[in-house]
Structure 1
Amino acid sequence: MKLFKPAFIVLSVTFVIGITILLGTYFYIKSDLPSVDVLKDVRLQTPMRIFTQDGKLISQYGVKRRIPLTLDQIPEQLKQAVIATEDSRFYDHPGIDPIGMMRALVNLVVTGEKGQGGSTLTMQMARDFFLTREKKYIRKIREIILAWHMEQLLSKQEILELYLNKVELGHRAFGFGAAAQVYYGKSLNELTLAQIATIAGLPQAPSALNPISSPARSLARRRIVLLRMLDEEYIDQKQFEEAVNAPVTAKKYGAEINLDAPYLADIIYSEMIELYGKDEAETGGYQIYSTASSDLQAAAQLAVRRNLHDYDERHGYHGPVKQLWSSELTDEKNQLADPAPWSEEQMLTYLQEVQTFESMQPAIVVKVNDKDIIIFNQQGKYNIIDWDGLDWARPFINDAKQGPEPETASDILQEGALILIRQREYDLHWQLAQYPQASGAFVALDPKNGAVQAVVGGYSFYQSQFNRATQAKRQVGSNIKPFIYSAALENGYTLASVINDAPITQWQAGSGNAWRPENSPPEYDGPIRMRVALTKSKNVVSVRLLRAVGLENVAEHLTRFGFNKDDIPLDETLSLGSGSHTPLEVATAMSVIANGGFLIQPHFIERIENEMGEILWQANPKNACDPCIAETKSNSNIDDPDDIEALLAAEFGVAHQDDEPVKNILSAPRVISAENAFLVAEMMRSAVQINGTWDNRGTGWRAAVLMNRRSDIAGKTGTTNDVRDTWFSGFTPDLVATAWVGFDDNNRRLGRTTRNQNLVNKNPQKYNYIGNALVGGESGSHAAQPAWIRFMQHALAGKPEHLLPMPTNLLTVRIDKGTGKLTNRTDNTSMFEYFTQGTEPQNFVVDAEIIESADQGDQSKKQIEDIF
């Protein structure tokens, strides 16, 4: 009793002091304790993810990678592995595990060091959310109190779900959903037991135990996790043996990108930064759905890259990247090459350091035969590039001149050459390659509401992040003419108006020079109807129309299509396209013609969701209808208002719920009349057709020929002076697209090409009309239009033709082709033409004015059909 009483007093005093310290500490940090609301609405720092309209991931932004999952989405084996390893009594303690704490205390007394152990999952959560990892007693006390506090506010299931989504697991992965993607490129439910055990062992020391940085330590840690699962009877002996002996399969994976569309993603990223700021945008868990579908975006990217390869290859081969060895020691582009061939080890080591973009791969030529070469590739394998993959490579001399066609492989390459190879998109055949020196851009949008369907800013975002589709203002050339002709229609001209296609000489007193705009080619037809003039893209007619309408009037008219007034030159070169605009601006302007006269606003984002899939923002663009409900009703047989609203939702892409009828479809401003838009579109349809005879074909005739003569396509080529910029813009009522090709160096011309018989032999007829066998000077129809055709061939495949209905204020009358006057003849000298009521011709042609011509239409049509 003598010993018990002092001991009891000491213990009591110690207990009181301990309680007093704990209570004092509690009240000291009480103000810092999280509220119920904070804990129940924890905002995980989740990266921004950008998707196509149909849900394909195209990019992810943010330092911390996290894929939030609900508890029922997480495999049971992973929960068991984590609990067995980190906190086996998780469901039994109130946030603090006395046994674990005692074990940690004993370790401290015995070793004098603050070792690991004693922390429950709840304590780890408290530390990770609100504290640091510094090993101080006050931090541990705060951690204990916070853990107990959290257990009072949250259920065990809520705590476990937060832990599994929050814990740091190395390589910027936070949460097990992200870890599965980072280490295995899979979702959690696709992992094996061995893989689950590997990532379940990471929380203790993610940097030191992860399978990429420390595979040996990771294996040892995996064994410990599996032993704990075996001890807790979560797995049996057979499962243990299989998992513990499984090979290491981890490697670092990027985000699970379904479609790499970096130009589109970068535009959306910039908009999100502008809306939310960089930190919030990158960590707020936003899921952004673009307006572009994965199908059309992929088709646009493929069309641009193939078109640039075609352009570059018809202009010749620039030679190997480098000559690594050569018995002749004549590497003119680099330092002298080695005299002796390299070993496989040397080649493989060298190739691993060569960076390439897109579909390009580096390779080394090890043997040159007569009609093929043997290469060693980046995967350490030998392959053959046959003559079909080499024969295009005649020497590049300059942009307007190429060397002779190669006859053997030795005319092209030597052994020891470092080259680039690529797999052709259309037949997957490997061929010699090079990066295109010319640049390209492409944009497609829905003319009804401005939703961008595809955007490509260049050959490769990883080569150049400059987005030429939205940032490059380039001279548009003849792409401006439809808008000039629209101004003429607004000022009394008709499709049958006759303008003199004759040379112009304008003396300029200020410079002392004469301005002589020329047609391209420099051919003149004399008096010509306005429809034919646009079809043939007559430059001097465009100048005469500008003069007739007035420079200021034309400039004002162009602003109606969305062109910035500051970008419109106030001189007569405006009529030839000397103004500079981006491809997006051109496509937006073309949409006015395609949709019947409404100025829509292009947009890239369809909706923004939070990490739980709740819609935070939904696009509600202005649509090409005014008033929308009345116009839709007049064009349908539907009377019920709710049915009309549902039809509008389907037509314009506006979300519609049965219990929430659409009431907010906005109307875009009408900027030109429906009649004006229809008539300009008619002329542009002629520009992509063979119009009776071969000599009357439009400048964009290849579009109709290669697209089975669809009647609903319209378009316009564009080529600037000295061929520095080439364009093609075209549309149907449902889709507008603009393609541009040129050099980033605006002083460099696209040049011309001579015949390469090796390329012609691949397809001696059709290949001459779209591809790298085109011959002659580059132009909008040669350089830019092929990308538009390939995209539209894909986009319109299987879709029926769709023409906007003719406005009620239009009529058709039979006119004489030569004079545009009325005629009673029904032969090849006449045709039906469209007119706004009141503008149709009043006088009949007299016999003396009629020009008889042989009808070669059937012959020309047969000729084209034979070719294609």
Structure 2
Amino acid sequence: MKWFKRILIAVFSLALLGIAAITAAYFYVLPELPDVNSLKTVQLQTPLRIYSSDGKLISQFGEKRRIPVEYKDVPPQLINAVLDTEDARFFEHKGIDPIGIVRAATILITTGKKSQGASTITQQVARGFFLSNEKTYIRKIKEIFLALKIEKALTKEEILELYLNRSFLGNRAYGVGAAAQVYYGKYLNELTLPEMAMIAGLPQAPSAANPIRNPTRAIARRNWVLSRMLEKRNITEAEYQQAINAPVTAKYHGAEIDLYAPYISEMARDYMIQKYGEEAAYTNGYNVYTTISSELQLMAQDALRNNVFNYDQRHGYRGPIKQLWTDTPLNQDDIITVLAKVTPMQGIVPAAVLDVAEQQATVMLTDGSKMTLEWPGLKWARKYITDKRQGLPPKLASDILQTGQQVWVRHNGEFWQLSQIPEVSSATVSLDPFDGAIRTLVGGFSFSQSQFNRVTQAKRQLGSNIKPFIYATTLEQDWTLATIINNAPINKPDTRQGTAWRPKNSPDIYGGPTRLRVGLAQSINVMSVRALRHAGLDNTINELVKFGFDAGDLPRNESLALGSPSVTPLQVATAFNVFANGGYLVEPYFIDHITDGYDNVIEQASPTLACSPSDNEEDPSNHDQQDSLNDDPFAAMNDELAQLSAPKDTQADVAAQLDYTHEEEGELICNRQNARYAKQIISEQTAFLITDALKSVIWGGGDWSKGTGWNGTAWRASKLIKRHDIAGKTGTTNESRDTWFSGFNPTLTSTFWVGFDDHGRQLGRTSWMANGAPDQISGTEAGAKTAGPGWNDFMNQALKGTPEIIAEPPKGIVTVRIDLETGKLTRRTDHTTAFEYFVEGTEPKEYVREIQEADEIFIDNSAEDLFQ
């Protein structure tokens, strides 16, 4: 009894001492313990993601790969694998596991080594969020008390969800959602049992023992996890045997990009950094939903690249990259080593020429595979001499290639062919005419080659793309599409540039008095200059500013009429949108909405709309608002898309609130609450007349069977697209340094630009190639030949399957039959006449005389001012 009493006293004393020690330790570390309630609102570091309008992932930015998942979405077997491995009594203990602590203490006493085996999942959450990984007693004490507090603040499911989402699992993957994607390219619910076991085993040594870096060690860890699952009866013996014999299928998977559109994703990334700061943008899990259509974007990218390839090929082959051998061939391994050092670009891959036959060649690719380049893939490669000169067409493969050369090849969609990296640049952008949403944007041939976004950053001379805006200014005054303008050399030079500037036509041909419609469709230079003179230089500049061009970019001389201003493709597309939508200048925008890491909408676009309020069109206060919103059409983009910052509760989904309808008179009405209406800068009638004239750019006019037919500059578009609701305008600058094609139909506006980044380099010319295609392009490069084919290709694909929209003249437009030579009224109905559109009241009042002397129609003395 005496010894028993002594033992009881000792145990009781030790218990009191233990309690006192624990109490003292608690109060000692209490001031340093963080508030665990912060875990309820913890922000996991999740990367920034950029999406298309239809939810396709465009890009992902951030150091950590994390795909947050909710507890209910984690497969039960993955939860079993994690718990059986890390904390089998997780749902039974209150944050600490006494059995585990005793086991760890025993190991410490017997071996002198500290063990982490006592840590529960709750303790690991405490350590991961609040503490360091240093192995000290004080850290362990803090960890225990934090775990107890966490268990009181959160449910078991919430704790486990934090653990599953935060754990580092190797290869920049944080959390099981990211690990499934990184190692297997799968969602969690697609994982197999051995794959779940592999992921569950990663927390022990994520960097050193993952299946990519060390598959042998990873298999051993996986099989141990499976044995624990078998021991806990969470899998059967048959499942265990099958799983441990499964091969390792893990390999590195990057972010699952659905749509590669780097220029628009870079714009979105830059916006987020400017708005939220770099750290928050990359770690707060923001999702940016752009206005880009994935389907249209792919079409635009293909059209631009194919057009660039076509330009590059017709100017000739610039030769191989280098000569790998001359006499003694390299062995296959050495060839592969050399080729592996070369980075492919946009489907263009390096190859080594192994053999050259009569009209074919055999090449080896980087993977060691061999292929034959047949004559159709070689015959284009006549020698490049200069941008204006090419060599003779090749007759044999040996005229082009030699054995041992390192070259570029690509698959053109039909067959493999010899290729080269293009030196010419290009850009394209497409907009929704009614709200300015950017549907496609391609800032260059290759983002890896150049990250310079030519759509928004490159200011290039506009050329004849400016002429529709010059003529629109005159139509807003007193001219009509039937106005006769003197297509003759200008004898009164403009001296504002310090020299006598006398514009010429291209080609240098003059046809005398010509209707305005024909002058615009055939892009006649002197007629555009005369239109500028009629409208007045200052008035024309003021009107161009209304279309969204910067006043500082507009020279105060008559070269303005031929497109001397330097502008960006985005500005051009925005300006052409005015014609497409009935006269409204809508602001371009590229972000529809942004959500946070919890999928809450934090920003929603509020675009300007190309329509008038349906309830009170003439409300003066509304017009004042329009003026303030549209002084600068690019204000929203230049000021970090300020229009996106409206509170989310007042910004419903834009698409759901737009309701475009056409009344019987053809007037467009937009019914929407809290709408922002774009400023109408030209009348609906003027927009209609210019659009109709721009259709003549494509379709021409006259009667070919009667010898009076004529082509517009973009006649190639009519051969490909074959629909009459398209309108467009070519553009070419002096010496063909910049080429443009801008056009639209009622649903889509698009601009293509082609040129060299070196402003001094001309696009040149090509000679006819005897063994080329019948429809090959030759002669001097110009808007219709160089930029036009890209636009034609894109619009043909973009509009395929959509109904042709018949244009209905707006109120105030009338049609009368005119004489094609004089623009006057006529009673004749033959091929010398046609119906023409006019704003009511501007139609001609005088009938042409049936018999009229030529000198009564056109008198060309020194008095040029007689002719408009």
Structure-2-length-normalised TM-score: 0.90
Aligned counterpart, 2:194: 194
1:759 shift after superposition = 2.3
Per the alignment, residue 290 of structure 1 pairs with 290
Cross-structure match for 1:334: none
Question: 1:741 corresponds to which residue?
Answer: 754
| Residues 161-213 of structure 1: per-residue CA shift (max 9 Å, x gap) | 12111111111111111011111112122222222111111111211111122
1:220 deviates by 1.5
Per the alignment, residue 344 of structure 1 pairs with 332
Query: 2:418 pairs with 432, 436, 440, which one?
Result: 432
Give, in whole Å, the separation in 2 of the partners of 1:498 and 1:96: 94
CA contact (8 A) 1:391 1:758 kept: yes
Aligned counterpart, 1:841? 844
Looking at structure 1, the residues matched to 287 and 320 of structure 2 have their Cα atoms a distance apart, in angstroms, of: 44
Answering whether residue 15 of structure 2 is matched by residue 27 of structure 1, we say no
Q: Deviations over 1:459-510 (max 9, x none)?
A: 1111111111111110010011111111111221111111111112455668
Which of residues 445, 452, 456 is equivalent to 2:438? 452
SS in 1 for 2:173: coil
Match of 1:740, SS state, is strand
Q: Residue in 2 aligned with 1:302? A: 302
The superposition leaves residues 508-567 of structure 1 with CA deviations (integer Å, 9 ceiling, x where unpaired) of 668774322111111111111111100000111111111121111100000111111111
For the residues of structure 2 that align with 1:510 and 1:472, how far apart are their CA atoms?
A: 27
In 1, distance between residues paired with 2:655 and 2:371?
57
The 5 A counterparts of 1:684-723 are 684-692=694-702, 696-708=710-722, 710-723=723-736
Structure 2 counterpart of 1:494, from 480, 488, 491: 480
Q: In structure 2, what residue type is equivalent to 1:782?
A: K
* Cα distance per residue 1:630-665 (max 9 Å; x no partner): 78xxxxxxxxxxxxx99962449xxxxxxxx95223
Matches within 5 A, 1:665-680: 665-680=675-690
**C-alpha displacement at 1:805, in angstroms?**
3.0
1:809 aligns with 2:812: yes
The letter of the residue matching 1:816 is: D
- Residue 692 of structure 1: how far off its partner (Å): 2.7
Contact 2:96 2:144 in 1 (8 A): yes
Q: 1:836 to 1:100 in 2, by over 3 A?
A: same
Q: Confirm whether residue 828 of structure 1 aligns to residue 831 of structure 2.
A: yes
- In the other structure, the counterpart of 1:798 is 801
| 3-state SS of paired residue (1:696) | coil
Where does 1:348-359 land on structure 2 (aligned, <5 Å)?
348-359=336-347
Q: How far apart in 2 are the matches of 1:679 and 1:511?
A: 33
Change (3 A) 1:711 1:512: closer
Tell me the residue number matched to 1:330.
Answer: none
Query: 3-state SS of the aligned residue for 1:840?
Result: coil
Give the direction of change, closer, same or farther, for the CA distance of 1:629–1:86 in structure 2 (3 Å limit): farther
- CA–CA distance in structure 1, aligned partners of residues 757 and 564 of structure 2: 17
Q: CA deviation at 1:615?
A: 2.3
> Residue 606 of structure 1: CA displacement?
1.3
CA offset digits 1:745-788 (Å, max 9, x no partner): 1110000111122222xxx2xxx1xxxx3111100011111111
Q: Deviations over 1:397-439 (max 9, x none)?
A: 11111111111111111111111111113x3x11111111100
Q: Describe the SS at the equivalent of 1:688.
A: helix
Alpha-carbon contact 2:37-2:153 (below 8 Å) kept: no
Cα distance, 1:113 vs. partner? Answer: 2.2
1:257 aligned partner = 257
SS at 1:466's partner residue?
A: coil
Secondary structure at 1:558 match in 2 = helix
Asked if the contact 1:316/1:392 (under 8 Å) is kept, the reply is: yes
2:632 is matched with which residue? none
| Alpha-carbon shift at residue 379 of structure 1 (Å) | 1.8
Sort the Cα spacing of 1:91 and 1:240 in 2 relative to 1 into closer, same or farther, 3 A.
Answer: same
Read off the aligned partner of 2:453 and give its amino acid letter.
N
Native 8 Å contact 1:68 1:177 kept in 2:
yes
Q: Distance in 2 between matches of 1:488 and 1:508?
A: 20
Alpha-carbon RMSD? 2.1
| Counterpart-to-counterpart distance in 2, 1:80 and 1:397 | 70
Give the TM-score, by structure 1 length: 0.90
What is the CA–CA distance in structure 2 between the aligned matches of 1:33 and 1:115, rounded to whole Å? 23
Counterparts in 2 of 1:650 and 1:367: CA distance versus 1, 3 Å: farther
Aligned partner of residue 500 in structure 2, secondary structure: strand
Residues 733 and 803 in structure 1, CA contact (< 8 A), matched pair in contact too: no
Describe the SS at the equivalent of 2:542.
helix
Whole-angstrom distance in 1 between the partners of 2:312 and 2:252: 36
Question: Partner residue of 1:203?
Answer: 203
Alignment map for 1:463-542 (pairs within 5 Å): 463-507=449-493, 513-542=499-528
Deviation of 1:46 (Å): 1.0
Report the secondary structure of 2:162's partner residue: helix
Matched, 1:141 2:161: no
Q: Which moved more, 1:343-352 or 1:551-560?
A: 343-352
Cα distance in 2 for residues equivalent to 1:458 and 1:528: 39
**One-letter amino acid matched to 1:140:** K
Give the secondary structure class of the aligned counterpart of 1:825: coil
Determine if contact 2:410/2:419 at 8 Å carries over to the other structure.
Answer: yes
Residue 602 (str. 1) matches residue 618 (str. 2): no
Letter in 2 for 1:793: N
Deviations 1:248-301 (A, max 9, x none): 221111101111111111111111222211111111111221111110011001
> Does the 8 Å contact 2:428/2:750 carry over to 1?
yes
Aligned to 2:667: none
Match of residue 631 from structure 2: none
CA contact (8 A) 1:421 1:434 kept: yes
Residue pair 1:126, 1:146 contacting (<8 A) in 2 also: yes
SS at match of 2:150: helix
For residues 112 and 557 of structure 1, do their structure 2 counterparts lie closer, same or farther at Cα, with a shift above 3 Å needed? same
Cα distance in structure 2, aligned partners of 1:359 and 1:693 = 46
Whole-angstrom distance in 1 between the partners of 2:537 and 2:655: 45
Q: C-alpha offsets along residues 302-337 of structure 1, whole Å, 9 cap, x if unaligned?
A: 11111100000111111111111113xxxxxxxxxx
CA distance in 2 between counterparts of 1:781 and 1:835 reads 28
Amino acid at match of 1:393: A
CA distance in 1 between partners of 2:234 and 2:817 (Å): 87
Q: Identify the residue that residue 312 of structure 1 maps to in structure 2.
A: 312
CA separation of 1:506/1:740 partners in 2, compared to 1, >3 Å: closer, same or farther?
Answer: same
Amino acid at match of 1:622: T
In the other structure, the counterpart of 1:558 is: 544
Name structure 1 gaps, 5 residues minimum: 328-339, 632-644, 653-660, 853-868
Matches within 5 A, 1:257-406: 257-327=257-327, 340-406=328-394
User: Contact 1:82/1:200 (CA < 8 Å) preserved in 2?
Assistant: yes
**Structure 2 residue runs without a partner (length 5+):** 618-653, 662-670, 856-868
* 2:603 equivalent in structure 1: 617
In the alignment, which residue of structure 2 is the partner of 1:221?
221
Match of 2:658 among 613, 635, 649: 649
CA drift at 1:352:
2.2
Query: Structure 1 pair 303/196, CA: closer, same or farther in 2 (3 Å)?
Result: same
* Alignment-derived partner of residue 87 in structure 2: 87
- CA 1:840 to 1:430, structure 2 compared with 1: closer, same or farther past 3 Å? same
Aligned to 1:642: none
| CA–CA distance in structure 1, aligned partners of residues 16 and 48 of structure 2 | 52
Q: Is the 8 A contact 1:45 1:283 kept in 2?
A: yes
Q: Which residue, out of 755, 760, 774, partners 2:777?
A: 774
Hey, what does 1:656 align to over in structure 2?
none
Following TM superposition, by how much is the alpha carbon of 1:593 offset from its aligned partner in structure 2, in angstroms? 0.9
Deviation at 1:614, TM superposition (A): 2.9
Distance of 1:190 and 1:850 partners within structure 2: 85
Cα pair 1:90 1:121 within 8 Å, conserved: yes
Please state how far the C-alpha of 1:707 moved relative to its aligned partner.
0.9
Partner SS, residue 204 of structure 2: coil
